[in-house]
Structures are given as C-alpha cells and as structure tokens.
Structure 1
C-alpha cells in the first residue's frame, strides 16, 4: 500500500516532465521554422537569392558567397530586420574583387587669345610640369595657362605619349583651336585665317602625325573675298559645264546649280562660296544667263562682277540671237550690264599660224614657244616665267611678230600666270582665245584660273579651261612627291638593313619590319618610277655577284608586291660589286657594300617633234632645244 502511494506521484511527475520536454522540442521546432521562413522570405524580397539560411535553435546562420562586401552587409541587415540581430550568425564569404579597369585617359586643350586651358585625366607617370611648361612657352607673355588636370596611377596606355606630344607641338600653329587627345588619337578643331592657310596647315599636320596616331581634322576658314566675283558657263562639244562658279550663299548656289542641271550640266558641279557679290540678285542673273545660252545652243557666258559677256557660237541664227539677247537684257536686274557678241565668219584669206604656247612638265621644266609682239614682251615673258618657276627651269624660244593683234602681250602674260596654277600642263594663246589645259592638285583651280583670266583679259575675252584635278597632286592629302618618297625611304631604313640569308636571295626574318614600313610608304606614294638596286661586296666571282644582286633586288620587289604595293612602274637591277660605297678590304666596308638601294628613275630626254608653228618659223630663230628637269640622283637607301 505504501509503495502504491509513492508510485502514483512519481509517475505523474515523470509524465509531466516528459510532456514538458515534448512541448519544448516542439516549441524549438516552431521557432526554428518560423525564423528560417521569415529570413528566407526577407532575403527573397531583397533579391538576395545567393544567400542560404540555416538555423540551430535560436541562432540563424547566413551562408553563401556574396558578390561584394555591400551585398554581404545587405544580407545581414535584411536578416536582422526580421529576427533579433544578436541571433544572426554571419558565415558568408565575399567573392574576390575583379581587377579594377583603368580609366579612360583624355585631355581637352582649348586655346584662344586669352591663353590655354587644359582639362582632363592623365596617367600619374605623365610629366605634368613639363607639359604645362610647354604650354606656357606657346602662349608666352600674352596669355595664361589654366591647369585643370587630374591624375590616376595606372599604366600608361599605348599611343598616349605620342598623341600628347603631337598635340602639344601642333598647338603652336593653332591660335584658336580645340584639341582632344586620347590614347593613339588626336582630334583637332580650329579656325584658320584663310583658305590658303587651311590647306597649308592641313597638309603639314598630316605629314607630321606620328605612326600609330589617328588624326581627325576639322579646320575651317572664313569665306574668301572673290574679286572679281566670277561665273563662267559654256556649252560646247563636251556639253554644258562650268569653268568657274561663285555664289554668296548656299541658297544662291543651289539656284545656280539647279539652272545649270536643268540644261544638262553634270550633277557633280559645284560653286565656291565667298564674299564680294555685286548684287543680292546674283543667282537670278546667273540662272537667266544660263537659260539664254541654252536657247542659243552653244557658246559661253562670263560674269565678272556686274559685267556679263555672252559669246554665241559662230554661225548662230541672227534672229534667234537678237531675240534671246533682247529678252535677257530686259530681264536682268538693273545693276548688270550685258555685252553680247555673235562672231563673224573669219577671213579665209588670213595667212599664217599665229600662236604662243607655254608648257610645264611634271618635272617642273617650262618651255616658251611661238610668237610675241615685241622684244620687250619676250624679255618680260621670260622674266615672269623665271620668277614663277625658277631660272634654271625655263627655256624660251619665242620669235617676234609685230603684226599680232592688240593686247597680245597681256594675253600671253595672263597665260603664264595661269600656268602657275597647274602641276603640269600647257597654255595656248591664239588671236581668238586663250586655252589652259593640264593637271592640278587644287580642287578650286578652275575657278581661280577663270577669275585670273577674267580679271586680266576683261569680261569679253574668250578663253577655255580644261584642267583635271588629281588626288595624288593634292597637297591637302599629304601625298609625298616622288623625291620626298625617295628621301623618306632613306629615313625609314635608317640604321636598319634589308638583310638576306647568307649567300642567298631569300629575305631573312629580321627584314620583315623594315619591308613593312617601306611598303606602307610606297602605297602612299603611288605610281612613281623607282629602281630597286642590288649591290654586293667584291668577294667571289664578279659574274656571280652580279647575278646575286639581281636576284636580291627581285626578292625585294616580290616582297613589296606581296604587301599590295603597285609596282608596275618599278624595275630591278643588280649592280654586283660595281658601285662600292666603302672599302672592301675590311669587314665593315664589305658589310656596307652589301645593300639594297631605292632610286628614282630619271626621265629620259626626248627629241621633240617639230610643230606646224616651228615649220613656219625660220630654222635658226628657235635655237637648240633644251629640257630642264630634276636631278633624280639623290642618295639611295642602304641594304
């Protein structure tokens, strides 16, 4: 009985304890689950799905790899917002930070009359003080240098130093400019004083830009003052076209070109924009005159300021001519004065060929032939040509004919001046017209020659211009002359050599870089007459040396062809041991004699065929023919 009284309370107490334990375990399970769910839900809301949650009793463990320290802190904060932050145990890792990308280094250089401002970010290795001192030297005492540069300690990018040095040197020629510099790039925007300055500066900058630097130019110039303000439109066997076209505004230009295209002129014609227009109704007058000339069918119309000369073709119907001219006279604005001419049929009894010709060769040689009206004119023409082209380049063989028309001397002198606008060509003066033909590197040459002739000869003069623009002659494009190309090959090679495998005509691997550099230059030079010369030392048999030198020169030519160089005008020649430049008695001398040279091929003097004019002249009056030309024997480049 006594045992039963003790067992019942003990059993009751044990049951109660077991119940408490079960309740505690269940409570812990509920706390863990609720804590996990709450934290997971919060992390999902914050889009931190990379973080994982584990719980152990009241402790909440955050595990996983955070992309950065900020993300890790955000996850801890999110968990601490739904459970006691003291319960949050951070066991997260942070991913290693990627290598920091260097910034983009750039500089803006602004120059005006007040001085220079330089703004941007440069590498810490850039000598900032030297750069600023260069700018101070450029402005001198007349301006200030504003330093707004920042620096960053990163590796100097390729092309940065070359671009910055080029920009600094160029700034001296650009008093009003903005230069933007980046790694390997320079962008220049500047205002120049005139069109001529713009052409000169553009050619100079392109010539001096370092290898590996890209240059972007935006050079502007004020509109030139065109005097006289000239327009010349003609219709002949080649169809309607402009010899010269000037306009004061874009609207006027479009109106004039539209009138020309309406009568069949090419769509690629253009007009120079400039100052000096004699009337705001210039375009109206030009369009009327072009339309009138189209009605006549053939001829020319020339504007020189407010004077208009309309020349119909010989044989035009008189009634048609009178009607068209009358309508044009009544329609023109008051300021313009029209002079219209219908040429008469020339006298068939006129005898003799009366003309004067001046020719300019591509090498710069000038020959003056034909007839002049006096000895004084002959001396004046010779002096003008020598002053314009060089005393040693002019050959004069003109005879005196006192029966030439009035103003012959003026026409001849104007023709010599027009010839100076060409790279090569000819001028022909006859009693009824002045003809200028040839090639030029100046896009505005037609306009400029027309202005010159109209000014010198008068607005009623008849002249013809057949001038072709060629890119390779344009100084703005920076294409070197053949002589410059020859000299630049020497500079490119410098202390390097074009080397071959011993006793072989095969280029060795070390020659690749120098051949690449020469190839890039020659592609820019274009079609020039070039001789590739092979030379050897005196060791071995003379015949074998000559053959080896020929084969090596040919290998160089083949290497240039493989680099897409146009070689149609090239030739190769092996000179063997014939032309040593050093003593073959020493190893150093023999090494110098084993070389490749590049030489321009000098033009051969040709006996000119006698012209019809010369047949009519006294055989002794013209004298012996001479040909002036450049000496092509410049120093070649060593192997």
Structure 2
C-alpha cells in the first residue's frame, strides 16, 4: 500500500517539529544546569553557604538569609560574575541587627621589630582609629597592617582598660603577640634574657587592670654555653654543683636526679643552653656523678667533651683505679677522661710559707694584688690586666718576685684575676697544686661562669676550689607619685607658666613649649591615672563659640602631649567655655585668669557619673552646675 505524497509530507513535518521541540527542551535544560552549577560554585568559593540557588529557564533566583547587608551584596556580585546580572532575582533576606546580641570584640596585635599587624573586631570606628594612630606612633618608620573590622555597638565593660593595657604591653615587647578581650589579655613574647623576662612579667602583673585576667607566655632565648661546662664536687661539706649545664629539660632532670642520688640536697640551678658537644651529655654526666659519689672526696669537671676527675689525696688508690677504670670504659664515644689522684700537700719553701698569689676584690670595688710572681714581666702583665678589668685607679699591687715558682704560674695568676672580675666581692688564691676562689655574685650564673673560666684556662685536671654565694641585688621599687600628686605637680607647673593660645584660636603659642615639656615628663610617671584636660574661656563672644573654642584648645593640648610621646589614652579633653570662671569677667586681668587649661583627676560620683575630683560633692556641699553636654560629654583624647 502506497501512502499519498501529502501524508508523507505531513509526517515528515511532524517528526521535524518534534525533534526541534526536543532540541529546545534539551538546550534550555543544559543552560539551566550550567547556570545552576556555575552560580553554586561561585557562592561556595566565596563562603556564602547560607545562600541557595534556583534556576527557571534563564532566571536565577537567590534565596537565604545573609548575616549582613554587605554579605548579601557580595553574594549578588559573585553570582553576577557567572551569569548576566539582569537574569538574577534577589530574594535574599538580611538578619535583623536588633535580633543579634553584642558581638565578641577581640583585638590581636602582632609585632616584629617595627612591623605591626592588627586583626579582630572593635566596637567603633573611633576606637579603630585610636588604636591605629597609637600603634602608628610606636611603629615609627615601620608598617602597620590594619585588618581590623568594626561593629557599631557600645563597648563592653572593661574593654577600654584591657586594650590600653595590651597596647602598653606591646610597647615593651618588640617581638610579641597580644590578644585582647574585655576580660582577658594574653601575651606571647620573646625577651632578650631570663632577667629581662622576669622583669617584664613582674611589671605586667603589677599593672594588670582589675577584672582582667592576664595570661603570660614569655620566653627567653637559650644562651650559647662555650665551653659547655659542668663541675660536680663531693667533699666534707657535701655534694654540690660548682657549674651545671644541660641541653634540654630532659637532660637537666636526669642530671639533677643523679646528683640527688649522690647526696646533693636543695635546689639546683642548671642552665639550659646551646653548644652541647654530644647528644649523650646527660648520660656521660650521670656516670661521672655516680663515680664521684663512689670516691667520696673528689671533683669531676666536664668542659665540652673533655672530662677530668680529681680525687683527694685521702682516697684509696685501689678504689681510685677501680672507679676510674669503670668510668673510662663506659663513657659514651667522644668523651675523653683524664683522672688524677692528688698528691700530698705542697711543701713550704726555704724562706717559709707555701708560695701563693692572692687577689682580693673588696665591696667598694678596690682590688689588692699580693703574693708571688715569677719575674717583672709577669708582674707587669698581671697588674695591667687587673687595671683593664677593674679600673686603673682601683688596683693596689704589692707582689714580690720569686724565680722558683712552678711552670704555668703566670697563666694561673691571669686566670685568677679574670675569674675574680665576675664577682661582686671575694678572693682568689693561687698555689702550686690548686686555685681557690670565694666570694659573692649578684649574677645567677656567676658561679658557672667562674668555673668555666678556670676550667678552660687552667685545664680540667687542675685543683680548683669554688665557694661562691649568689646574693641577688635587691632592686627598690620605683616610688611613683600618686594620681593626686601627679595632678598637683601639673597644676603647679601651670601656675608658674600657663599654656597660652593665639587670640581666638586653638593654636598653642610657642611660649607654652617649656610648660608642655614639663607636663609631659610628669605624665610619664602617672600614665594610669584618669585625668581630665579642661579648657576654659572668658565671657567675651557667644556661649556656643566659647564652648567650642575651649574644647578645641583642650584637644590641642592633648595632641601636643601625644607629640611628646605621652600615652594619652587616660586623658579626656573637655571644654567648659565660660561656665566655670575663677575671676570676674569685667576686667582684663579677670578675663586673662579665666582663659586657662586645667588638669583634674577623674573620679566616680555617688550617682555613677564621671566627674573631676574637685567637683564631687561632700555630704554638706550643694551639687555644682552640671558639666556641659552631660556627664558623658568627655571624649577619650585618643579618638579625637
């Protein structure tokens, strides 16, 4: 059966139309899928996970609730980079700010030398600007990288005091990280020495504001110990260290445990430092301490990998041989042992007495050199060396010549003077068989340094006796003036020479430079006291004009003090205009007195408002006129 031509044509047309529709549907579906995938990827890459995407043909609809208006706009921008912005329907909501609680304000400051970086969230643009300005002064020519964000909320209680404390800590720590919240300040820093670390920690704890928790993590670099020295003594006085060095905490603990087992009592100051000659240092030292304890009257000295064991003359030779043999066989590789059994006491010379050289350092810094030296050249060398260490006028020499002194006497005498220079007072005696030094030092590692010098210059096998006491220097606390005394001193300076301004202007006259210098010096000793800088005018001109002029002049004073490196976070600049005269305004002399700047200590009144101390009413005193603008009109100087 043959179909008519018209039927065949109609069928072909229907098939073509169907294929066209299918192709159109497929193309639309492909466009929708591509748009959906592209926009989703852009939103995920930007972190806008709260946004949802729906595609209907060419239209792209964004829904979801944005945390902020700026994030909503950023999500729209990200989607517009993928598809034509005219195709996007914005159906997103924004979180109602009134439904949000007060955000957690944080401030992190990283400082490395002059470079400073800021990150965190602070309450206002004013607080933001004040922090950046203050750190800009601190950085000097360095760069301040500002990544702070702001949220216009009232700052939480304690925030201002915590930030001010954190910034003060930063000023004393050129390599540090300071983390600040309203209730906590965390300080991570590196100090130059252990003594500097202790001083900084003490100062920060003393200055911590009430209600703020302080967390400290200040480290001091480990010293390089050269030579790496340890000296352990066992005698009639008991077991002790003349010098103790360790390469880490684990090694120190093992060394202390070995000494305690040998009979040592009390606290041990074992310096952890760099320069250890072998990772087996603690093992070698523990063996040596155990050997010294077996001998009972001996000294073992480690100077890098050289080990010297000197036993007293009373030690039995067979015991000495056995202990030395065991130690020599078991010491780790690298370490080399030299053992000596001390002979009997040196005999006297024909002219009587045991030959010796003595150097005495008195508490006043004067030095006496007495005893024997082998020849005039050595005498001159020892005296010159002593003068170079203690001062040319501090040395008194009274030595005698003795050509029969043993070899190496000059080296011992010079080493004795060098060791004595590390004491605050004391005496060192050189004999043929030993060098004995005693005295006091204010340096925690002074005893170690003396042992290191004598061991290095005389040799580990020499008889060395060290009896040095550590007596720390008592540093008197700085007697800072009270806030009341500080303000009294400032106003006394203003009485002698007031701060003058150019007529009708807030520009400070050059004649006030000396007064401002004096005030700046006084403020550096009371930077924690809340102080009001009050500006006053006479009654000429309108009240509003005088109020604005007085406020501008107070601000100019604060800025001038800031230019003199005064920390002004505790200063509030306030203008009172003509409202608080101290003299009649009907004479030129009275008007001159009324045009003034005053510094007044701030206190909290009974009703909770902040007012100058002089304005706090007593129980029988009528309340004075309220300050202009209300009790909260004073603005922190750092924000102006």
Q: Deviations over 1:241-279 (max 9, x none)?
A: 211122223333333222222221125225322232222
Determine the C-alpha separation between the residues in 2 that align with 1:185 and 1:455.
Answer: 49
Determine the C-alpha separation between the residues in 2 that align with 1:360 and 1:183.
Answer: 54
Determine the C-alpha separation between the residues in 1 that align with 2:180 and 2:396.
Answer: 51
Name the SS for the 2:239 alignment partner: strand
Residues 490 and 251 of structure 1: is their aligned pair in 2 closer, same or farther, counting only changes over 3 Å? closer
Partner of 1:76 in structure 2?
none
Determine the C-alpha separation between the residues in 1 that align with 2:258 and 2:172.
Answer: 44
Q: CA deviation at 1:153?
A: 4.3
Aligned residues between the structures: 383
Contact 1:132 1:145 in 2 (8 A): no
Which shifted more, 142-151 or 180-189? 180-189
Name the SS for the 2:473 alignment partner: helix
Partner of 2:517 in structure 1?
none
* Structural mapping, 1:261-276, within 5 Å: 261-266=260-265, 268-276=267-275
Partner of 2:219 in structure 1?
220
Residues 236 and 141 of structure 1: is their aligned pair in 2 closer, same or farther, counting only changes over 3 Å? same
Residues 119 and 298 of structure 1: is their aligned pair in 2 closer, same or farther, counting only changes over 3 Å? same
Residues 154 and 288 of structure 1: is their aligned pair in 2 closer, same or farther, counting only changes over 3 Å? closer
Determine the C-alpha separation between the residues in 1 that align with 2:484 and 2:451.
Answer: 42
Partner of 2:146 in structure 1?
146
Q: CA deviation at 1:429?
A: 2.4
Match of 2:169 among 167, 170, 180: 167
Q: CA deviation at 1:182?
A: 6.9
Name the SS for the 1:472 alignment partner: coil
* Structural mapping, 1:396-545, within 5 Å: 396-473=397-474, 479-480=475-476
Residues 285 and 198 of structure 1: is their aligned pair in 2 closer, same or farther, counting only changes over 3 Å? closer
Residues 374 and 125 of structure 1: is their aligned pair in 2 closer, same or farther, counting only changes over 3 Å? farther
Contact 1:184 1:212 in 2 (8 A): no
Contact 1:159 1:184 in 2 (8 A): no
TM-score by length of 1: 0.52
Determine the C-alpha separation between the residues in 2 that align with 1:347 and 1:286.
Answer: 31
TM-score by length of 2: 0.51
Name the SS for the 2:177 alignment partner: strand
2:318 is the alignment partner of 1:319: yes
Contact 1:162 1:210 in 2 (8 A): no
Q: CA RMSD in A?
A: 4.0
Partner of 1:332 in structure 2?
331
Name the SS for the 2:389 alignment partner: helix
Q: CA deviation at 1:198?
A: 4.3
Determine the C-alpha separation between the residues in 2 that align with 1:492 and 1:413.
Answer: 57
Q: CA deviation at 1:139?
A: 4.2
Contact 1:440 1:469 in 2 (8 A): yes
Q: CA deviation at 1:314?
A: 0.8
Name the SS for the 1:387 alignment partner: helix
Contact 2:122 2:148 in 1 (8 A): no
Residues 153 and 425 of structure 1: is their aligned pair in 2 closer, same or farther, counting only changes over 3 Å? farther
* Structural mapping, 1:339-358, within 5 Å: 339-350=338-349, 351-358=352-359
Name the SS for the 1:344 alignment partner: coil
Q: CA deviation at 1:239?
A: 0.7
Partner of 1:558 in structure 2?
none
Determine the C-alpha separation between the residues in 2 that align with 1:266 and 1:452.
Answer: 26
Determine the C-alpha separation between the residues in 2 that align with 1:123 and 1:361.
Answer: 61
Q: CA deviation at 1:124?
A: 6.0
Contact 2:439 2:469 in 1 (8 A): yes
Q: Deviations over 1:4-33 (max 9, x none)?
A: xxxxxxxxxxxxxxxxxxxxxxxxxxxxxx
Contact 1:299 1:312 in 2 (8 A): yes
Determine the C-alpha separation between the residues in 2 that align with 1:208 and 1:251.
Answer: 30
* Structural mapping, 1:281-300, within 5 Å: 281-300=280-299
Higher relative CO (Cα under 8 Å, sequence separation at least 6) belongs to 1
Q: Deviations over 1:19-63 (max 9, x none)?
A: xxxxxxxxxxxxxxxxxxxxxxxxxxxxxxxxxxxxxxxxxxxxx
Determine the C-alpha separation between the residues in 1 that align with 2:110 and 2:331.
Answer: 49
Unaligned runs of 5+ in 2: 1-100, 490-640
Residues 153 and 368 of structure 1: is their aligned pair in 2 closer, same or farther, counting only changes over 3 Å? farther
